Amino acid sequence: MTADSDEIILQRILVNHFPNLSKLSFRKISGGTFNRSYIAMVDDAPEFIIRISPGKHNLMYFEQLAMANEGLAYKLMQKYNIPVANYFELGVIDGEEYSIGQFISGKVLSEQLWSDESKDDAINSRLLENLGKIIKRMHSQKVDTDYCGYLFCVEDKSFTSWAEFLIYSVKNVLENAGPELKSNVNLDELINVFEVNREILDSREKTSIIHGDLWAANVIFNDGETYLIDLDRAMIGDPLFEFAAGWMDREEFWQGYGSTKNLESLSGNELLCLRLYNIYMNLLHAISNENQFKDIKTARDYMDSINKRLAELDL
């Protein structure tokens, strides 16, 4: 699919939703799963994010349903007043699935926290504390359902067991394992570490709304407001899963979250589950870096992290 043919589809999508718009232009967004993602400009100002489905080739199972999952996530977040874009719609045009959502202007949190040019401890502290409040509010919403997992799994009533969801997900994404992953990680051991801890995983709370991909690059702030973006991995499950990446383990974040604990203070089953969630997250990144981005060095770094966690669990 060429950029020119994409632009024709983009024009038609915008006209379908907003027939009175004029002076349209588009800027492609680089990186990410959706390499057919664009910022739609109206009168030279960014107004919308449009993603056209990349198809299902070489994608992990949840990525194949990412658009549907994100649509469900926006409805859920808006219902509970979690700060996300006000507008998000799904559609199909000429057999192509797409999503169109409000463009949120601002700065991504990762640039603020780790850029030498913009680093400001006082600002960072306020942003992290505010983010902690938002995530606590999101986690505190208990969804009235017996089902868990990605939101499309909840919609389909696929899993009542948190452990079953995780074991299914691990086995399913391993169908996308490339030669590097197969050579560097004992995949049978990886699956087994989830299966032998089934009972502990099922003892965890499983009714919280989870963003599911809460990296600092998926947080935008502007004029004192903070927004969550990229909701395509949202799920219902154990709120501890949210912290598997570990980057938000800072005092200011936990103050906003209302917790006197941090990740370093975890022990016992909580620590075990956090390590399992970290293995799962690292697995996703190892597969996507090897298969989609062809970044073998980064993929191997994630594989090293998986092996480190497996050694810590020492089964």
Q: Which amino acid is at 158?
A: S
Residue that is written with structure tokens 């973006």 in the block: 229
Average pLDDT of every residue of the chain: 93
Q: Per-residue pLDDT tens for 6-36?
A: 888 999 999 899 998 888 899 998 766 557 8
**Cβ within 8 Å of residue 206, ≥6 positions away:** 148, 162, 236, 237, 238
Q: Check whether 1 has a pLDDT greater than 60.
A: no
CA distance 102 to 100: 7
Please report, for residues 92, 147, 239, the alpha-carbon distance to residue 157 in angstroms, rounded to integers and kept in the order given. Answer: 25, 6, 20
Question: What fold is seen in the domain 3-102?
Answer: Phosphorylase Kinase; domain 1 (3.30.200)
SS3 of residue 95 by DSSP? coil
Size of the chain, expressed as the number of residues it contains: 315
SS3 of residue 287 by DSSP? helix
pTM: 0.94
b/e sequence 109-144, b meaning 16+ C-beta within 10 Å:
beebbeeeeeeeeeebbbbbbbbbebbbbbbebebe
Q: Per-residue pLDDT tens for 115-147?
A: 776 677 888 999 999 999 999 999 999 999 999
- For residue 77, how many other CB atoms are within 10 A of its CB? 21
Q: Per-residue pLDDT tens for 62-103?
A: 999 999 999 999 999 999 999 999 999 999 998 889 999 999
Q: Per-residue pLDDT tens for 240-293?
A: 999 999 999 999 999 999 998 899 999 999 999 999 999 999 999 999 999 989
Domain ranges of the chain: 3-102, 107-312
Percent of the chain at pLDDT > 90 equals 80
b/e sequence 211-237, b meaning 16+ C-beta within 10 Å:
bbbbebebbbbeeeebbbbbbbbbbbb
DSSP state of 30: P
DSSP state of 208: E
Both tokens of 186, joined, read 């004992």
Residue 120 has a pLDDT of 79
CATH number of 107-312: 3.90.1200.10
